[in-house]
Amino acid sequence: MFNPNRLLQIFHQTKVRKQLSAVYLTAVLIPVLVIAVVILTSFQSVMDQQYRSLAESDNQRVKSILFNATTNLYNLSDNIVNDSQLPALLQTRYASTADAVSACNNSPTFQTLLRNETSVSAVMVYSQNTSLGNSQYITQVDDQIRKTDWFQKAAQRPGAFWHTGKRSDRYGNTYWEVTLYRRITLVKTGSFAVLAISMNNNFLANQIENNTLCSMISVNDDPVFYSTWRQMVSHPLPLAVDEQTTYYKATGQQKIEGRTCLYTVNTLLPYNTNDQFHIVSIDSDAIAAMRNVTLTHIFLLGFIIFISWLVFFLFTHNFSARVELLRSAMHRARNNDYNIVDSFHGDDEISQTFSDLKVLVQQVKLKEAEMYQEQIREQKLLNEQQEMEYKLLASQINPHFLYNTLETIRMKALTEGNRGVANAIKLLGKSMRYVLENTGTTSTTLQKELDYIDTYLKIQKLRFGDRINYALHMAENVHADQCGVLPLLLQPIVENAISHGLEQTTDGGLITMDIRLLGSSVLSVTISDNGAGIPPERLQALKESFRQPRQPKTDSIGLYNINRRIRLCYGECYGLSLRSQKQKGTQVNLTIPYTFTEEALK
């Protein structure tokens, strides 16, 4: 079931640019395309109907011309057949051929006909009277003529009929024309003659060829005898015509002479005959013209859509970029990053919102600056207090007295043969000396820090034995005796690895320290253990304590203080990072600038 609220919810969950694209697609592009398709379809239908009407009108015009021409020829044949002089001429037996030719040529019937009728190209009577011979208008029937289709047809039926035939002029040129054949019955001799009146193609051309449409005419199933396309004469009609339909008429499209054309075919029943004239009108330019108009409209539509899409794209690109810039600035401000752009183009609601955001950021920065100054003052007071406490404690303990006392105890243990106690006292003294010497200082060498770690781990091995082992891997390009670091920086990390990672390990405990350079200016120290690991929720809390300026619980205060010392001394881009897996161990990575001590630089 359609749920508009659900659809609206999905719509609001997409980005603004996609929302604008969806609105453009549904509210502009699709309606424009639908309207354009409807209009274009209607326009094509109107054009097609107009071209069809033109073709049908021209076809009707040619049909009317042909009807008048065929009717006129039939009437002329009627006049000749009904002329009383012609039967007498055809039935008379002449003494000589010269008398017969003279009588035929002087017949007023043929002379008047040819003189007044331009639609007639030739008149000929085919006679079986052997005394007439051959003259201008009369030809004696021989065996070749008797075998022709038209003569056999005339011998079998008394009426008139039309037939297409091939002719040759006196220059030897061949052409095709349609001829009306009519049987002349000779009562006295009991014989018959055949009258043939041929239609003048030039007459048809003068009547028909007055426009750009092609016209073709054929009779029955004979080849085309007239066509404005000369190459089609003597060939069958290029269209299928239903001969069984008396008044056949059709309009459509067909490929003719390699081109898709619009055609109209019509049937003419000439006067007083049983023949069928097929009249075809062809518009070879109609389909191409309609296609060109359609392509032009499609191109214009595509151009309009492209322009609208271009404007829409530029607008949405600019709009979404401004929204994204505003969103990015707000996101950075949410993550305590107040370095947002100073300029924002425009003077609309979005730019006003950005201006309000800038004012808010400035106020927050001012408040944070005040809080930071307050924290610095508090930290300074705390440092001063710790320093005073340390000086007070240092003043109460005489280091030389403490060292001498430990040395006396160590020598007594050696005298009594207890080398383990002596060694432990020696390590303790060495450790205390390093701590006391570096308390209050800000720099030592990496080598001294590693020596202190080695001393510390030896003390721990007195406690844990072989349960804890230690390995150091340092890159060759790291110069530990020249590299300057903060004192007492690594020992709390190692202590955490023992107390939280390996304390419950019964055997095989290993602490690995990997020291290398990142590039040429960053020192990376990775301290790993294969102990119990840190639970995911606890690991996440430790990482959050590094990012947030708040005091963690006591079990991670050492790591927190080291991270704070590094960032206060070297900057926010340095510090600690943690990785841990349950029952697989913990990895602490420390990054500081790779710098040299003042003695190394001299």
In a domain, 329, yes or no: no
How many domains does the chain fold into?
2
| pLDDT for res 395 | 46
Confidence of residue 2 (pLDDT cuts 50, 70, 90): very low
Confidence of residue 317 (pLDDT cuts 50, 70, 90): confident
Which CATH number is 54's domain given? Answer: 3.30.450.20
Tokens of 377: 């003052």
Q: Which residues are registered as beta bridge partners of 465?
A: none
Mean per-residue pLDDT, 447-456:
89
Q: What is the 3-state secondary structure (H, E, C) of 397-451?
A: CCHHHHHHHHHHHHHHHHHCCCHHHHHHHHHHHHHHHHHHHHCCCCCEEHHHHHH
In a domain, 6, yes or no: no
In a domain, 185, yes or no: yes
Query: Per residue in 507-530, pLDDT tens?
Result: 888 999 999 999 889 999 999 998
315 against 202, higher pLDDT: 202
| pLDDT for res 170 | 72
Which CATH number is 550's domain given? Answer: 3.30.565.10
In a domain, 527, yes or no: yes
Residue carrying structure tokens 């003390």:
459
pLDDT at 436 over 80: no
Residue 215 and residue 240 in contact, taking contact as beta carbons nearer than 8 Å:
no
Confidence of residue 112 (pLDDT cuts 50, 70, 90): low
The domain of 102 spans: 11-284
In a domain, 554, yes or no: yes
Query: Per residue in 342-375, pLDDT tens?
Result: 666 666 777 777 777 777 777 877 887 888 888 8
Tokens of 198: 């041929």
Instruction: With CA atoms as reference, report the closest residue to 523 among 583, 454, 596, 469.
Output: 596
Confidence of residue 549 (pLDDT cuts 50, 70, 90): low
Q: Which of 284, 307, 333 is the endpoint of a domain?
A: 284
Q: Which of 284, 308, 333 is the endpoint of a domain?
A: 284
Q: Which of 266, 284, 302 is the endpoint of a domain?
A: 284
Which amino acid, residue 87? Answer: P
